[in-house]
Amino acid sequence: MITPADHFHGSDLEAIELAYGIKKEKITSFSANVNPLGVSPKLRQTLAAHIDVITTYPDREYTALRRSIGTYAGCDPDHIIVGNGSTELISLMIQIRHPKKTMILGPTYSEYEREISLDGGVSLYYPLKETHDFQMQAEDLMSRLNEQIDLLVLCNPNNPTSTSICRNDMRKILDCCKQNDIFVMVDETYVEFVPEHLEITSVPLTDYYNNIVILRGISKFFAAPGLRLGYAITGNLDLIKEVNKKKNPWTINSLAEAAGKLMFSDTEYISATKQLIFSERDFIVHELSLIEGIKAYPPTANFILVRILKNGITSKDVFEYAIRKGLMIRDCSTFPFLGNQYFRFCFMSAEKNRELLACIHQLFDN
């Protein structure tokens, strides 16, 4: 099992405050990958006006919430399971599938391997290759799949590489997995940030394949990690029954339920988010291409992976240089298959993005 070294997560602002003597309110986190617009004004007003919902239990079946999610995601509400963030759902899926051997696309989010290990399983990694800009090669992946593997975990778009798997390739992978009796868990946490997300999302495939479950949440796109609302989509009705039997009731609190029924139909906020992210992504990619000593990989999500080419500079150096200016990037040295040459940052407001770009310029132009 790959054991990451101590490092700062995007939510570790209190630890940063203690370590560097910088007030957390003065830190801009380019590490957490959260929508820079913050909570939707409409959502803020709605929650304030409906605070009394906490005096009652939410609907045990979350019928209205699942209907709202179904309309947003383009799927049958009966194919949706809601949970206390996608983390709970990852844990539940692994407990129920109980995989002995799992293949994980890497480098990626460490929680998959952690949960598999806690359940007594073993994780193998399919390494994305730097020579292909960390873009997955479907035929090569399929050549590594066999009947000894129980579960395949794909993060799409992938964190930290910001690469995506198109739906045509996903269909081929599902066919291959079907032949080898492999279940597929696809984490689509960042899919709404992709310009052509309808070509990337695997949701339509859940109508035809029963060996896939898709996980999503509201932490990143809707900037609401504290509400802990996640959802899974699958056409496997037996799996849905099993999950609903195993999971605790009312894991989604009343405020999160009320928020969910609103946010998925907040078209003004959704449109504003996409406009900002799409515009800033194009600008940042162009600006990074002008800096010697680094290589930025083409991003599809709301963050970008950068490789340091200049001798004498490490990802820790970039982190240290930026945090002194109140800008927190992600040192990627703890991700599988990456080293101290890689860092990642998400796209924030236009003003803050330019501050960070100026910081990177200063470090690498010296």
pTM to 2 decimal places? 0.93
Same fold, 13-39+268-365 and 41-265: no
Write out the CATH class of domain 41-265: alpha beta
Q: Is the dihedral of CA 352, 355, 359, 360 positive or negative?
A: positive
Q: How far apart are CA 99 and CA 121, in angstroms?
A: 6
The pLDDT of residue 178: 97
Q: Which residues contact 238 (CB under 8 A, 6 or more apart)?
A: none
CA-nearest of 103, 179, 189 to 147 is 179
Ramachandran sector of residue 168 (left: φ over 0; alpha: ψ -120 to 50; beta: rest): alpha
Q: pLDDT digit of tens for each residue in the chain (366 aa)?
A: 333 334 555 456 777 777 777 887 889 999 999 999 999 999 999 888 889 998 999 999 999 999 999 999 999 999 999 999 999 999 999 999 999 999 999 999 999 999 999 999 999 999 999 999 999 999 999 999 999 999 999 999 999 999 999 999 999 999 999 999 999 999 999 999 999 898 999 999 999 999 999 999 999 999 999 999 999 999 999 999 999 888 888 889 999 999 999 999 999 999 999 999 999 999 999 999 999 999 999 999 999 999 999 999 999 999 999 999 999 999 999 998 999 999 999 999 999 999 999 999 999 987
Structure tokens at 237: 């009705």
pLDDT for 366 equals 74
Per-residue tokens: 219: 């932490």
Cα–Cα dist 114/1, whole Å: 9
Partners of 80 in beta bridges? 233
The helix (run of H) or strand (run of E) holding residue 217 is strand 212-217
List all residues 6 or more positions away from 264 whose beta carbon is below 8 Å from its beta carbon: 68, 69, 71, 72
From 133, 256, 276, select the one nearest 192 (Cα to Cα): 276
349, HSE (Cβ side, Cα atoms, 13 Å): 6
Residue 26 has what pLDDT? 84
Angle at 27 between CA 162 and CA 222, to 5 degrees: 50
Q: Give yes or no for a contact between 162 and 304, defined as CB atoms under 8 angstroms apart.
A: yes
Domain boundaries, the chain: 13-39+268-365, 41-265
The domain 13-39+268-365: what is its CATH number?
A: 3.90.1150.10
